[in-house]
Amino acid sequence: MPVEPIRFPDIQTHPAVLTKSIDKAHYEDTLHCNRCGFCTSSCPTYIATGDEGLSPRGRNQAFRAVLEGRLKDPAEAERFFSTCLMCGICTSVCFSEVPTAELMSAARGTVMGKQGEPWFLKISLRFFLPRPGLLEPMLKILFIGKRIGLSGVLNRIGFLRLISSQLSAADEMVDSVPVRFLRDRVRPYPPAARDADVIHFLACGPNYLKPEVGEATARILKRAGVRFGYVKNVCCGLPGTTYGDLPAARALAQKNIELLEDHPNAVILLDDSSCAASVKDYPALFRDQELPSGDDWRRRAEAVSRRTRDLSEWLVEKGIQFPHLTETTSVTYHDPCKARYAQKIVHPPRALLSSLPAVSFRELPEAEQCCGAGGTYCFAQPEISRAVLDRKAGNVISTKTDGVLTSSVSCLLQLQFGLRRLGSAMRALHLSEFLSPPDKNR
Amino acid sequence: MNTHFVKRLQKEIGKGNVLDSPASLLIYSYDSGVDKALPGAVVLPQTASQVAAVVGLARREGIPFVARGAGTNLCGCTIPVPGGLVIHLSRMDRVLKVDAHRRRAVVEPGVVNLRLQKVLVPYGLTYAPDPASQKACTLGGNAGTNAGGPHCLKHGITTHHVTGCEVVLPDGTFLRTSIDDPGYDLTGLFVGAEGTLGIITQIEVGLLPLPEDVRTFLVSYPSIEAAVQSVTDIISSGIVPTALELMDRVTVEAVEEFVHAGYPRGVEAVLLIEVDGPKERIRRESEKLRELCQKNGGGDIREAQNEREREKLWEGRRGSYPAMARLAPNVLVEDGVVPRTRLPEAVKRIRAIAAREGIRMGLIAHAGDGNLHPNMIFDERNPEETRLVRAAGYEMMKVCVELGGSISGEHGIGIDKREAMRWLFTPQTLTVFRKIKTAFDPDNLCNPDKLIPVAEQPGRGLDHGSLAVPVAAPSQSSGTLEAPEARGAPSQSSGTLEAPEARNELPDSGVLPIQNVEHLQRVLRGARAAGRAVFLKGLGTKGFPIPSGALILALDGLKSVVDYDKENFTLSVQCGWTLPELGALIGPHSQFLHIDGGGTLGGILSARASLKPRLRDQVIGMKCVLSDGQLVEFGAKVMKNVAGYDAAKLFLGAWGSLGVITEVTLRLFPFPPEEPFVKNPRPETSRGEDPRRAIYQKIKNIFDPAGIMNPTIKWEEPTVAR
């Protein structure tokens, strides 16, 4: 019986027709993915879902198809773009080093028209984040609501979900909130002198959610005898970059660059790896050749980037000692992806912890994997985030150590939530808190 | 796809496991190869019964389906039929069992190869096949394509390590197979079938102990020839490295540019050599290796001093394909195999093709078994460039066939090489493949139109598009290469015409000595025309009960040596030989067969006389005469070959019930077997309902529809409870 042969293939691709140079640059990047698939098994969202669309290869191919006009309604691919954790592990295993996280930011922004951005974030980014004087009272009202249990009640009756499922997830995840922000707590320290050695950049996580982390960092700096101080920095702009709202991110970055230029020789120290990576990556915000005075800003951003240090990196660089840590304990360490992949910091925290005589350091299985926090991702995509988290928390528990350390508040909250979820008594602490615990005798 | 079908799918396996948005379909239109096609829906089943439910539904609706693992295939095996169904098995990713005592593991098909390796480390065990994509590729995909890898030189490819599987057949029913079962080797048939005969939902694999010691070397050579000569010398010396990887200059440059693995620049070829085993032996072998490499001009010998350095050297090798990928949007990775000693010639001719067409190409080879990969870079958005590269790839495969090799060593056939199958197999053999496919999948829905050339178009094969390269007659002495389909094989003429005349030759009863293959073909045609049952006999050592008055063919007279290739360690002989006789032939050259048993070679194979070493791992090629007198052949004279169904395995242990094995190509070794032989007891049989029986009958019908070949053989459920 003669059978009509099936026609393979039925898809032919054509070069995308693009006008903007930044789109062209992104398109070039997508072309470097030749679909070998090596990235798939490393990607946390692919591991959690098994869906090719939620793999780096799938995301790149979808973005490429959008740019080539092969997807009639680009909004169809929104789910692929918005579910990327932006952890960057894919680029680290990709031989062509396709910058998927960066591409997804572009896909969310350029292509999706910022559809991935939740409404309250948009307001925050444009209105509150550049204005700490408005943001902080606003947050305090919210936090008081949380502390008196109002949010819990509203969440249980489904009211928060009604406004935004993300608020609901956030309320569930964040266990406790401070009434005094870090900015208030570091008031006793003087403002930065022009010739300060170190600017302790107030990252939003330590500032608004975990001020005890920033306090610990300040104690470390004080004990080390460096001349340090504070500037009135705003949010580093990371949420804008993440959701593809680059103009908002740029405005925040420019404000910070100007402030930091007043202290031209100071190291800019961040105790939150996500924000450290974001500041180090400021030059990328001005990559677009069509920006007004983009070249000038890129140069200024590069100068700031060069002076920026993540906490563990700086501690090892300066050889800071911790002789007061005498209590025998065992710990494991979770790398924030923004440290491990964005800044390629893997060795410093391990070297530091291994050098402490009283501390026994044990490596975390699947240490290379993201915890699923991803900044606000854990609120935006709670289902995937929690699947990723459960695997991470299981690995943490399997180390049978006293606690897990990390260097980003986003990861810290996520790990604490994850251990709670699995009913573990293990503690999760920020590296600063561990290295400089609050003085109990005070 | 019709929404009714999608709704049924959703109802059957849950809404969250079905994808049908345009974006999702686009994302499932590709794998790592060149071809793309848009499916109609995608399902992600979580259990084997969901797979069965989906397959059953697709069959009722007449919708073609394809199983997919990580989509790292390079020849279009997992590309859906346009509008068809993709069954993505990524959510079936559990390691179900590790039996350290029996050294076996049972896994679901979605388990990533490297993950299994990691799971096994605490047991001190390893799973040998390690495709370069092991970080991503799944064991289901590995089984489907009979994947190889750099380390399979010593330990063998996937088919040597899959000991059983659970399959959802194209009709939606389950089948469990094991290589320990009596009867036809169905496991061997499913491995490498590219998902065209069913969907593997569980795989049982054999495991090896982790070696005591591993040493890895990187050696530079002034020429490809010198490197290949080193390889030949190493293998002839009795050392079996786990890996012997060859990389050419272009590849090394591309890799170094990115991986910085410390490979030497500016040399024509490098060999990555790895040996493993007991410490003391490895020490001795390492010394010998250095000596053999230097003798052939190998310089700058680097040995990895620790695990990190070893990993770095391997990173360089694994990076060879992706490193080329950095240079252009696409890489076409060809996959040909030739007898090892022909590698330099193959490389020379393949390079000439690339140079003529102005194609940028890097070459790597699993040099130990003659498997080579030209990596050609191009841009799929340019149709002319794409066509050119594909045509060049085809021409390169032709070179491999001409040199006595095959069109795929490990990647598979898929869509990409369907037409090239005509160069390798005769129309008769392709017909057998088609019959196998039809027996399992009469509706042609299970990954249809892969692996086998689509329609029967004799005469077209070599004129593939604008590519009219004449295929020279095989250059070897013997006829190990049967006439390609296109050249109109003479034996294609219908056998029944000669039957009346042949019928007169048949004695009423007793033993008929067979003089040669043509005689055998004539006799079988006669017997079939006369409806006579036929029994086969070698030296009569198996004591198989034969009914009185039956027609018995004595095959001990078939005794030519078709090809003895000492350098490549292969021996092609007819099956009337006894092992002592073959020993006398190869012994003086210090070569050994890893086979044992009494009587003729044909008897040993048909009775699957030895369990260890496994007979199925010794045979790389086979010629058989079927009951209609047709001559078919499977495999080739190469160590790695995944072209077509592995039908030769069906004949091992078939007790002559499918046809007559007239000739086999066997692997030779420079040392006697290391483990003692275990004889196969006659298969125990008893009464019982066995789902395999129906399948066995289907297989019998493929090869012997008249049912005249040893009709007393009936496979039944083994007594041992499973």
What per-residue confidence (pLDDT) applies to B689? 58
Q: Evaluate whether B239 touches B217 at the Cβ level (below 8 Å).
A: no
Indicate the pLDDT class of residue B62, thresholds 50, 70 and 90. very high
Q: Where are the beta strands (DSSP E) in B367-472?
A: 371-378
Q: DSSP for B552-621, please give it.
A: EEE-TT---EEEEETTTTEEEEETT-BHHHHHHHHGGGT-B-----SSBHHHHHHTT-EEETTGGGTEEE
Asked whether the predicted pLDDT for residue B571 surpasses 50, the reply is yes
> Backbone phi, then psi, for A353, in 5-degree steps?
-65, -40
Indicate the pLDDT class of residue A136, thresholds 50, 70 and 90. confident
What average pLDDT does this structure show over B548-576? 93
- Give the number of other CB atoms < 10 A from CB of residue B364: 27
Name which of B186, B271, B188, B197 is nearest B227 in CA terms: B271
Give per-residue pLDDT as tens, A44-57: 999 999 999 999 99
What per-residue confidence (pLDDT) applies to A380? 86
What per-residue confidence (pLDDT) applies to A151? 74
Indicate the pLDDT class of residue B496, thresholds 50, 70 and 90. very low
Q: DSSP for A61-124, please give it.
A: HHHHHHHTT-SS-GGGGHHHHHT-----HHHHH-TT---HHHHHHHIIIIITTTTTS-HHHHHI
| Alpha carbons A318 and A313: distance in angstroms, whole number | 9
Q: Evaluate whether B484 touches B461 at the Cβ level (below 8 Å).
A: yes
Give per-residue pLDDT as tens, B201-236: 999 999 999 999 999 999 999 999 999 999 999 998
What average pLDDT does this structure show over A19-27? 88
Q: Evaluate whether B482 touches B427 at the Cβ level (below 8 Å).
A: no
Q: Where are the beta strands (DSSP E) in B641-701?
A: 660-667, 678-679
What per-residue confidence (pLDDT) applies to B502? 62
Which residue of A14, A50, A73 is in closest CB contact with B381?
A14
Helix/strand/coil percent split, chain B, to 5: 35, 20, 45
What average pLDDT does this structure show over B172-196? 93
Sheet holding A198-200, edge to edge: A228-229, A198-200, A267-270, A308-310
What per-residue confidence (pLDDT) applies to A1? 35
Indicate the pLDDT class of residue A162, thresholds 50, 70 and 90. low
What per-residue confidence (pLDDT) applies to B473? 33
Q: CB contact, 8 Å: A32 with chain B?
A: yes
What per-residue confidence (pLDDT) applies to B504? 67
What per-residue confidence (pLDDT) applies to B487? 34
Name which of A25, A45, A33, A32 is nearest A87 in CA terms: A45
What per-residue confidence (pLDDT) applies to B544? 75
CA R_g for chain B: 25
Q: DSSP for B494-522, please give it.
A: -GGGGHHHHHHH--SSEEEE--SHHHHHH
Worst-scoring range by mean pLDDT, A62-76, A171-185, A199-213, B612-626?
A171-185
| Alpha carbons B118 and A368: distance in angstroms, whole number | 15
What per-residue confidence (pLDDT) applies to B718? 40
What per-residue confidence (pLDDT) applies to B456? 54
- Tell the residue number behind the tokens 């036809």, with chain if given: B184
Q: Judging by DSSP bridges, how do beta strands B41-43 and B18-19 pair with one another?
A: antiparallel
Angle at the Cα of B537 from the Cα atoms of B532 and B541, rounded to 5 degrees? 145
Asked whether the predicted pLDDT for residue B194 surpasses 60, the reply is yes
Average pLDDT across chain A, whole number: 88
What per-residue confidence (pLDDT) applies to A163? 66
Worst-scoring range by mean pLDDT, A85-94, A430-439, B683-692, B701-710?
B683-692
What average pLDDT does this structure show over B113-124? 96
What average pLDDT does this structure show over B637-651? 93
Interchain CB distance below 8 Å, B23 and A3: no
Structure-model confidence comparison of residues A157 and B570, the more confident one: B570
Name which of A437, A226, A403 is nearest A319 in CA terms: A226
Residue type, B193: A
| Alpha carbons B218 and A362: distance in angstroms, whole number | 34
A-B C-beta contacts closer than 8 Å: 145
Q: CB contact, 8 Å: A363 with chain B?
A: no
| Alpha carbons B613 and B21: distance in angstroms, whole number | 51
What average pLDDT does this structure show over B478-488? 37
Chain A residues inside the 8 Å CB shell of B90: 46, 50-52
Indicate the pLDDT class of residue B476, thresholds 50, 70 and 90. very low
Which of A47, A71, A95, A383 to probe by mutation at the B interface, max B CB count within 10 Å? A95
What per-residue confidence (pLDDT) applies to B690? 65
What per-residue confidence (pLDDT) applies to A440? 64
Is the omega angle on the peptide bond into residue A9 within 30 degrees of 0, that is, cis?
A: yes
| Alpha carbons A407 and A409: distance in angstroms, whole number | 7
What per-residue confidence (pLDDT) applies to A116? 52
What per-residue confidence (pLDDT) applies to B490? 40
Q: CB contact, 8 Å: A3 with chain B?
A: yes
Indicate the pLDDT class of residue A154, thresholds 50, 70 and 90. confident
What average pLDDT does this structure show over B375-393? 93
Q: Judging by DSSP bridges, how do beta strands B551-554 and B534-537 pair with one another?
A: parallel
Q: DSSP for B353-364, please give it.
A: HHHHHT--EEEE
Residue type, B277: G
Chain A residues inside the 8 Å CB shell of B444: 3
**DSSP letter, residue A125:** I
What average pLDDT does this structure show over B131-158? 93
Q: Where are the beta strands (DSSP E) in A392-440?
A: 403-406, 427-430
Chain A residues inside the 8 Å CB shell of B329: 31-32, 34
Asked whether the predicted pLDDT for residue B484 surpasses 90, the reply is no
Give per-residue pLDDT as tens, A225-283: 999 999 999 999 998 888 878 889 999 999 999 999 999 999 999 999 999 999 999 99
Interchain CB distance below 8 Å, A9 and B37: yes
Helix/strand/coil for A424: coil
Q: Evaluate whether B325 touches A96 at the Cβ level (below 8 Å).
A: yes
Chain centroid, CA B274 distance in Å: 23
| H/E segment holding residue A270 | strand A267-270
| Alpha carbons B356 and A384: distance in angstroms, whole number | 52
B584 dihedral zone (left: phi>0; alpha: psi -120 to 50; beta): alpha
Chain centroid, CA B395 distance in Å: 21
Residue type, A351: A
| Alpha carbons A165 and A159: distance in angstroms, whole number | 10
Asked whether the predicted pLDDT for residue B378 surpasses 80, the reply is yes
Q: CB contact, 8 Å: A34 with chain B?
A: yes
Indicate the pLDDT class of residue A114, thresholds 50, 70 and 90. very low
Bridge partners (DSSP) listed for residue B332: B376
For the ranges A47-56, A148-157, B1-10, the one whose mean pLDDT is highest: A47-56
Q: CB contact, 8 Å: A8 with chain B?
A: yes
For residue A28, what are the contacts with CB-CB under 8 A and spacing of at least 6? none
| Alpha carbons B513 and A282: distance in angstroms, whole number | 87
Q: Evaluate whether B149 touches B129 at the Cβ level (below 8 Å).
A: yes
Bridge partners (DSSP) listed for residue A429: A405
Q: DSSP for B14-41, please give it.
A: -GGGEE-SHHHHHHTSB-SSS-B---SE
What average pLDDT does this structure show over B274-278? 95
Q: How many residues does chain A have?
A: 442
Instruction: Name the token pair of B383.
Output: 């149709």
- Tell the residue number behind the tokens 């793999």, with chain if given: A55
Q: CB contact, 8 Å: B115 with chain A?
A: yes
Name which of B410, B404, B424 is nearest B642 in CA terms: B410
| Helical H segments across A262-330, by residue range | 273-280, 282-285, 294-307, 311-318
Asked whether the predicted pLDDT for residue B157 surpasses 50, the reply is yes
| Helical H segments across A319-381, by residue range | 337-340, 347-354, 377-380
Asked whether the predicted pLDDT for residue B122 surpasses 70, the reply is yes
* Window B:296-355, CB contacts with A under 8 Å: 319, 321-323, 325-326, 328-331
| Percentage of chain B exceeding pLDDT 90 | 76
Name which of B697, B704, B711 is nearest B524 in CA terms: B704
Instruction: Name the token pair of B393.
Output: 């790839």
Chain centroid, CA B290 distance in Å: 32
Indicate the pLDDT class of residue B685, thresholds 50, 70 and 90. very low
Structure-model confidence comparison of residues B460 and A440, the more confident one: A440
Give per-residue pLDDT as tens, A385-414: 999 999 999 999 999 999 999 999 999 999
Give per-residue pLDDT as tens, B39-56: 999 999 999 999 999 999
What's the pTM value of the predicted model, to 2 decimals? 0.90
Asked whether the predicted pLDDT for residue B471 surpasses 50, the reply is no
What average pLDDT does this structure show over B350-367? 96
Name which of A349, A101, A97, A1 is nearest B456 in CA terms: A1
Interchain CB distance below 8 Å, B322 and A36: yes
What per-residue confidence (pLDDT) applies to A6? 56
What per-residue confidence (pLDDT) applies to B500? 55
Structural domains in chain A, sorted by start: 21-115 (1.10.1060.10), 179-315 (3.40.50), 321-435 (3.40.50)
Which of A6, A12, A64 to probe by mutation at the B interface, max B CB count within 10 Å? A6
Asked whether the predicted pLDDT for residue B485 surpasses 50, the reply is no
Asked whether the predicted pLDDT for residue B629 surpasses 90, the reply is yes
Which residue of A12, A13, A71 is in closest CB contact with B22?
A71
* Window A:54-93, CB contacts with B under 8 Å: 57-58, 61-62, 65, 70-73, 76-77, 79-80, 93
Q: Between the CA of residue B99 and those of B113, B128, B187, what are the distances in Å? A: 17, 16, 20
What per-residue confidence (pLDDT) applies to B253? 92
| Alpha carbons B559 and B581: distance in angstroms, whole number | 10
Give per-residue pLDDT as tens, A82-98: 999 999 999 999 988 99
Q: CB contact, 8 Å: A35 with chain B?
A: yes
Asked whether the predicted pLDDT for residue B467 surpasses 70, the reply is no
What average pLDDT does this structure show over B248-256? 92
